[in-house]
Amino acid sequence: MATTETLSLAEIETLAFEALVKAGTSEENARPLAVATAMTEADGVASHGLAYIPIYAQHVECGKVDGQANPIVSQPRPSVVTVDAATGFAHSAIERGFEKLIPLAKEMGVAVLAVNNSYNCGVLGVHTQRLAQAGLMGIGFTNAPASIAPSGGAKPVIGTNPFSIAAPDGQGNSALLIDQSASTIAKSEVMKHAREGKPVPEGWVLDADGQPTTNPEAGLKGSMVPSGGYKGVGIALTVELLAAVMAGATLGSVASPFSGTAGGAPKTGQFFIAIAPDATSGGLFQEKLSELIASFHNIEGARLPGDGRQASRVKAAKEGVPVNAALLEKVRALT
């Protein structure tokens, strides 16, 4: 059984920050990514947390992502913010964009942010959660390199393309958080199984011939299974329209992979919609949201999307997060 070491969220953030800076990331770009890493670990999504720091460091060193990038923020229309991430980390580009998006959405009622020339944004729900913490309904989309084949085909043409919605609770937190990819499972989970030499459950991946497999390596060379069959492909396509087409970013079908060192910068995109609840709800937002949440929680054993992450977050703030000792050793070697 793997041994673990418990770290506080502040220690996780510091460790991630130091490793990123040592790899060649500017402090300004490293900080939002380190904060997101701690938030991700707090939410219990370990596959996207500290486990990604060695990959990020490797990608800075090989040039797949520019650790010194200076994102360029524009406001082409009154309620539209755009950011050219300049092939740098998505997190710092989104951070810059949110600085304009949040006050703009509160003023206009609704505002959008489009990010292009970007990179893997990690857990999308971390970003929509930040909009909810600011009192806004946050809706987010991010495209990824192709890993899902269209219905009737075996060649991947579109990414796992997550979308996320976070609703504010009126007290500086999210009351409800939906964060899901268009595939049955996030690709990072398959990569995690491959690193650990473990088979994946049936229904996660297909091999290069489009046949079901439990071999994660074969799945990574093949395609991800879309959630709900053709409906999952429709979700992936919807996200692609917003995060790539509307953002002017690289399509998943031609973007370089987020894994490995080959292919240069992926130049993918993100798209966020921020809505002020009082702009549309006639002052009934919190009341209706509470009723909606109660309709789930009043059923014995029922769970609402985001409940698990919320419970993990509360526990992590008090007790810290157990981190795999071998992973910790690997990350600490980078600092």
Q: How far apart are CA 109 and CA 279, in angstroms?
A: 5
Which distant-in-sequence residues (6+ apart) come within 8 Å of 79 by Cβ?
Answer: 104, 105, 108, 110, 111, 112
Residue 199: what residue type?
P
Q: Does residue 333 form part of some domain?
A: no
Give the predicted TM-score (pTM) of the model: 0.94
CATH code of 137's domain: 3.30.1370.60
Answer whether residue 1 shows pLDDT above 80: no
Q: Give me the pLDDT at residue 154, please.
A: 83
pLDDT at residue 116, as a whole number? 98
Q: Which of 44-48, 117-121, 214-218, 313-317 has the lowest mean pLDDT?
A: 44-48
pLDDT, tens digit (0-9, with 9 covering 90-100), for 8-46: 999 999 999 999 999 999 999 999 999 999 999 999 998
- Helix (H/G/I), strand (E/B), else coil: 6: strand
Domain that holds residue 101: 68-183+226-299+302-306
Q: Which two tokens stand for residue 303?
A: 């769970």
The answer to whether residue 14 is domain-embedded is no
Structure tokens that stand for 122 in this block:
């990690």
pLDDT score for 317: 95
Q: Looking at 8, 26, 47, 281, which residue is catalytic? A: 47
Q: How far is CA 152 from CA 122, 127, 149, 181, 223, in A?
A: 30, 34, 8, 20, 13
Q: Which of 13, 41, 48, 188 is catalytic?
A: 48
Summarised one tens digit per residue, pLDDT across range 179-231 is: 999 999 888 889 889 988 999 999 999 998 889 999 999 999 899 999 988 99
3-state secondary structure of 54: helix
Q: Are β-strands 72-77 and 80-84 bridged in parallel, bridged antiparallel, or unpaired?
A: antiparallel
Q: Which two tokens stand for residue 318?
A: 């008090």
Beta carbons within 10 angstroms of residue 295's beta carbon:
11
Report yes or no: 161 and 145 within 8 Å, Cβ to Cβ: no
Question: Which of 13, 41, 95, 189 is flagged as catalytic?
Answer: 189
Domain presence at residue 63: no
Please, which pLDDT band fits residue 163 given cuts at 50, 70 and 90? very high
98, 106 in Cβ contact below 8 A? Answer: no
DSSP state letters, 21-37: HHHT--HHHHHHHHHHH
Q: Which residues contact 168 (CB under 8 A, 6 or more apart)?
A: 131, 132, 133, 134, 135, 136, 137, 174, 175, 277
Task: Give how many domains the chain has, as a whole number.
Answer: 1
Confirm whether 160 is domain-assigned. Answer: yes
Of 1-15, 58-72, 79-93, 117-131, the range with the lowest mean pLDDT is 1-15
Rounded Cα distance between 271 and 124, Å, is 11
The alpha carbon of 86 is separated from its chain's Cα centroid by a whole number of angstroms, namely 19
Of 16, 24, 89, nearest to 50 by C-alpha is 16
Per residue in 84-115, pLDDT tens?
999 999 999 999 999 999 999 999 999 999 99
Q: Is 113 part of a structural domain of the chain?
A: yes
- How far is Cα 306 from Cα 174, in angstroms, rounded to an integer? 9
Please say if 189 is a catalytic residue: yes
281 flagged as catalytic: no
Does residue 109 belong to any structural domain of this protein? yes
Token readout for 298 is 């009043």
Residue 25 in domain: no
The pLDDT value recorded for residue 2 is: 66
* 47 among known catalytic residues: yes
Residue 121: inside a domain? yes
CA 53/CA 25 separation, integer angstroms: 12
Residue pLDDT, tens place only, 254-300: 999 998 898 999 999 999 999 999 999 999 999 999 999 999 999 99
